Amino acid sequence: MNTKISEEQISFYRENGFLVLTDFLNSEELTHWQTTTQEAVDERLGISRKGEGGKGITGSLTNQGDPDAYYASVFTQCLKLAETHEGMRELMLDSRLGEMAATLEGVDGIRIWHDQALFKPPFGNPTGWHLDNPYWSFSSRHALSIWVALDDATLGNGALWYSPGSHKTARFDNAGIGQNLADLFKIYPEWRDIEPIACPCPAGSAVFHNGLTAHGAGANMTNKPRRAMTCAYMPDGSTFNGVRNILPEDYFATLKVGDLLDDDAVNPLLWKREKATQ
Ligand SMILES: O=C(O)CCC(=O)C(=O)O
Ligand SMILES: [Fe+2]
């Protein structure tokens, strides 16, 4: 895993709100990420179809309840696979990922918000333009995600697109993600003037984006899936904003707006900067 990030890449990320690292996984690591993710997704879909709970994770942590729904064909979305799959837990709890995330955002600690596999199926619908952080249970200008391409992401199968710099002017109100590709631009008409940048990248690449950068992905016009494994990160010290999102019901019931989200079982601390001792 190539976790090195140059000063130039940090500046690009902070200016634009995203960064593509094309030589992130070597071919052996890529094979391991592909097999682990495919296995974890297949297992989750199996649980979901049988309607079983399984370690407190309900079958609802996929979006495949109604396979004919438009959104089910945007991608197969499986959340928190690290909670049901040991191999995925090992991949996600790698502190080097936390350090990369902290370096890009210039924060002292990183917790996992949630991991999520996003498999755009053959002939899958496009991913509408949206922001991530407004969905989550904390509001931070330093939240971010890693998106690891498990297949080559091309202009023809649903590569990511970003509105560069949009993270600087984004607000926290949730525009949602509808069927219309451009609904987000009704809330942010000024972003229509920003020229979107496409990020096709080979399998094994990592793409980082800030939780407030506007992004979407094209349709999959091919007959093969476009698979990605992602993880969303929360700066340590983030507080509850009242939104439940994927918080477990019993934990949610104990929270008041403003409480620290520091439960290591729900949001594991992935990396923390060593304090200089003197
Ligand atoms: O994979 C996609 O199509 C969308 C990815 C995305 O929205 C995300 O990683 O936040
Ligand atoms: Fe997103």
| Tens-place pLDDT, residues 20-40 | 999 999 999 999 999 999 999
Cβ contacts of 115 within 8 Å, gap of 6 or more: 79, 80, 81, 82, 88, 92, 229, 230, 231, 232
| Tens-place pLDDT, residues 264-274 | 999 999 999 99
Pocket test for ligand 1, best of 125, 145, 160, 207 (most atoms within 8 A of CB): 160
Is 52 a member of any domain? Answer: yes
pLDDT of residue 58: 56
Question: Based on the structure, what is the number of domains in the chain?
Answer: 1
For residue 217, the CA-to-ligand 2 centroid distance in Å is: 9
| Residue type for position 120 | K
pLDDT of residue 201: 98
pTM over 0.85: yes
- Alpha-carbon distance of 114 to 200, in angstroms, equals 24
Question: For residue 55, what are the domain limits?
Answer: 12-272
Tokens 């019993």: give the residue. Answer: 250
First to last CA, the chain: 33
Per-residue confidence at 49, pLDDT binned at 50, 70, 90? Answer: low
Q: Which ligand has an atom closest to residue 157 CA?
A: 1
pLDDT higher for 175 or 37?
37
- Alpha-carbon distance of 7 to 224, in angstroms, equals 37
Pocket test for ligand 1, best of 41, 79, 215 (most atoms within 8 A of CB): 215
What would the two tokens of residue 276 be?
């200089």
Percent of the chain at pLDDT above 90?
Answer: 86
Mean pLDDT score, 179-186: 91
Q: Which ligand has an atom closest to residue 145 CA?
A: 1
Question: Does residue 54 have a pLDDT over 50?
Answer: no
Is 3 a member of any domain? Answer: no
Per-residue confidence at 236, pLDDT binned at 50, 70, 90? Answer: very high
| Tens-place pLDDT, residues 190-224 | 999 999 999 999 999 999 999 999 999 999 999 99
pLDDT of residue 200: 98
Is 277 a member of any domain? Answer: no
**Nearest C-alpha to atom 10 of ligand 1 is from which residue?**
132
Q: Which ligand has an atom closest to residue 147 CA?
A: 1
Is 117 a member of any domain? Answer: yes
| Tens-place pLDDT, residues 97-136 | 999 999 999 999 999 999 999 999 999 999 999 999 999 9
Is 21 a member of any domain? Answer: yes
Pocket test for ligand 1, best of 20, 41, 135, 145 (most atoms within 8 A of CB): 145
Per-residue confidence at 278, pLDDT binned at 50, 70, 90? Answer: low
Mean pLDDT score, 57-76: 82
* Ligand 1 pocket residue status of 120, Cβ below 6 Å: yes
* Ligand 1 pocket residue status of 227, Cβ below 6 Å: no
Is 5 a member of any domain? Answer: no
Q: Which atom of ligand 1 is nearest to the CA of 215?
A: 7
* Ligand 1 pocket residue status of 158, Cβ below 6 Å: yes
* CATH number of the CATH domain containing 187: 2.60.120.620
* Ligand 1 pocket residue status of 142, Cβ below 6 Å: no
Q: Which residues face 230 on adjacent strands?
A: 116, 147
**Nearest C-alpha to atom 6 of ligand 1 is from which residue?**
216
Is 2 a member of any domain? Answer: no
Cβ contacts of 208 within 8 Å, gap of 6 or more: 13, 18, 19, 21, 100, 101, 104, 144, 145, 146, 147
pLDDT of residue 224: 98
Q: Which atom of ligand 1 is nearest to the CA of 230?
A: 9
- Alpha-carbon distance of 211 to 133, in angstroms, equals 5
- Sort residue 14 into left (φ over 0), alpha (ψ -120 to 50) or beta: alpha
Is 7 a member of any domain? Answer: no
- Alpha-carbon distance of 46 to 8, in angstroms, equals 44
Per-residue confidence at 174, pLDDT binned at 50, 70, 90? Answer: confident
